[in-house]
């Protein structure tokens, strides 16, 4: 066969292969590596469910890891996703700091990273494509505004606070937003504040300590999530006091357990923090793989649900 014909065939073959490879690239199944915080709360369970269901629906292969609320486990998982050459990495950082090194490794491997739910504090925000999640400072403000607008008793108001996981964005920001609002009325004072690590068990344990130290001086509990509030409700009842009456309780998330506690008159209000980020995350993953640009910040829309609307809203709750 003459040289020209051989070259023409080789070129045609290359085009077909290239085309085929190109076609395969377009149809190639996307693989997403997701490093989840843990399974510490009803909110987290709903968040995980939303991510798994949405990935299946989107036909995206999901590699999922549960870090049991330990940063070193999340870092290990991200490194494993890099080694497996996934198309995109997403995670909810358990705490804000300590991510530069592993995010630089993902960048060097040319694997885009999406932050969901919680933020990281890094100097170089090119280390992640976008952060999608709630505005936790605003959630704290909403809790504070509800208290100032609805707490009727006169005189000093002693508040105890159950903080979320130390160093986590929701704990830092919910505290910041709440304090920013209540400082307008100095009669509202936080007399004790300690982490309950977002769990029912720890929330109960710390509330027992608050009650031992302050007892009937406590007028209000501000819990950074519903699970800690539900744990605290048990401690308040075991101390012979009426949660939602002797102690006004404000919490965050809006999980079903909170609505049940409000219907029972034991919780006064929950500030919604939407965990159902799965569909939005899968859209973002597909856009990133398709080379589309994304806003650096995608904020989830949320509400505030007082006890008075709990029974009516409960049937609509998806988590």
Contact flag: residue 200 with ligand GZL (CB under 6 A): no
Tokens of 105: 């490794």
Contact flag: residue 231 with ligand GZL (CB under 6 A): no
Contact flag: residue 273 with ligand GZL (CB under 6 A): yes
Q: Report how far residue 114's alpha carbon sits from residue 118's, in angstroms, rounded to the nearest whole number.
A: 11
Contact flag: residue 158 with ligand GZL (CB under 6 A): no
Q: Using CB under 6 A, which residues numbered 168 to 187 contact ligand GZL? A: 170
| CB contact set of 202 (below 8 Å; sequence gap of 6+) | 195, 196, 228, 231
* Residue for token pair 């045609």: 12
* Residue for token pair 């920013």: 180
Phi first, then psi, for residue 94 (nearest 5°) are -65, -35
Rounded to a whole number of angstroms, the minimum distance from the CB of residue 43 to ligand GZL is 3
Tell me the window of 22-30, 37-45, 208-216, 241-249 that interacts with ligand GZL (CB under 6 A): 37-45
Task: Assign 31 to helix, strand or coil.
Answer: strand
Q: Report how far residue 92's alpha carbon sits from residue 94's, in angstroms, rounded to the nearest whole number.
A: 6
Rounded to a whole number of angstroms, the minimum distance from the CB of residue 290 to ligand GZL is 27
Contact flag: residue 131 with ligand GZL (CB under 6 A): no
Contact flag: residue 43 with ligand GZL (CB under 6 A): yes
Size of the site for ligand GZL (CB under 6 A): 15
| CB contact set of 177 (below 8 Å; sequence gap of 6+) | 136, 137, 138, 139, 140, 141, 142, 143, 144
Contact flag: residue 117 with ligand GZL (CB under 6 A): yes
Tell me the window of 23-31, 40-48, 49-57, 74-82 that interacts with ligand GZL (CB under 6 A): 40-48
- From the list 161, 173, 253, 302, which residue makes contact with ligand GZL (rule: CB under 6 A)? 253
CA contacts within 13 A on the Cβ side of 111 = 24
Question: Of 111 and 132, which has the nearer Cβ to ligand GZL?
Answer: 132
Phi first, then psi, for residue 313 (nearest 5°) are -80, -25
* Binding residues for ligand GZL (CB under 6 A): 40-41, 43-44, 117-118, 133-134, 170, 198, 225, 227, 252-253, 273
């Amino acid at each position: 066969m003459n040289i020209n014909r051989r070259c023409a065939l080789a070129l045609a073959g290359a085009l077909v292969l290239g085309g085929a490879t190109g076609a395969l690239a377009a149809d190639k199944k996307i693989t997403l590596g997701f490093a989840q915080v843990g399974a510490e709360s009803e909110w987290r369970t709903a968040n995980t469910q939303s991510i798994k269901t949405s990935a299946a629906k989107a036909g995206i292969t999901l590699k999922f890891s549960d870090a049991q609320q330990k940063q070193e486990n999340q870092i290990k998982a991200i490194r494993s996703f890099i080694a497996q050459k996934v198309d995109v990495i997403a995670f909810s950082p358990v705490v804000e700091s300590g991510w530069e090194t592993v995010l630089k490794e993902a960048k060097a491997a040319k694997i885009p990273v999406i932050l969901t739910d919680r933020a990281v504090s890094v100097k170089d925000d090119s280390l992640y494509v976008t952060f999608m999640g709630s505005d936790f400072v605003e959630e704290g403000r909403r809790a504070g505004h509800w208290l100032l607008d609805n707490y009727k008793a006169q005189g000093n108001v002693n508040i105890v606070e159950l903080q979320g996981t130390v160093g986590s964005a929701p704990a830092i920001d919910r505290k910041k937003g709440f304090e920013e609002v209540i400082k307008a009325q100095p009669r509202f004072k936080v007399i004790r504040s300690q982490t309950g690590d977002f769990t029912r068990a720890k929330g109960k344990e710390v509330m027992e300590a608050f009650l031992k130290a302050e007892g009937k001086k406590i007028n209000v509990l501000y819990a950074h999530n519903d699970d800690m509030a539900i744990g605290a409700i048990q401690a308040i009842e075991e101390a012979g006091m009426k949660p939602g009456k002797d102690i006004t309780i404000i919490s965050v998330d809006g999980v079903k357990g909170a609505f049940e506690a409000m219907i029972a008159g034991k919780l006064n209000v929950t500030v919604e923090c939407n965990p159902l980020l799965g569909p939005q995350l899968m859209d973002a993953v597909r856009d990133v793989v398709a080379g589309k640009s994304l806003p650096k910040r995608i904020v989830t829309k949320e509400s505030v649900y007082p006890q008075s609307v709990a029974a009516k809203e409960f049937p609509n709750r998806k988590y």
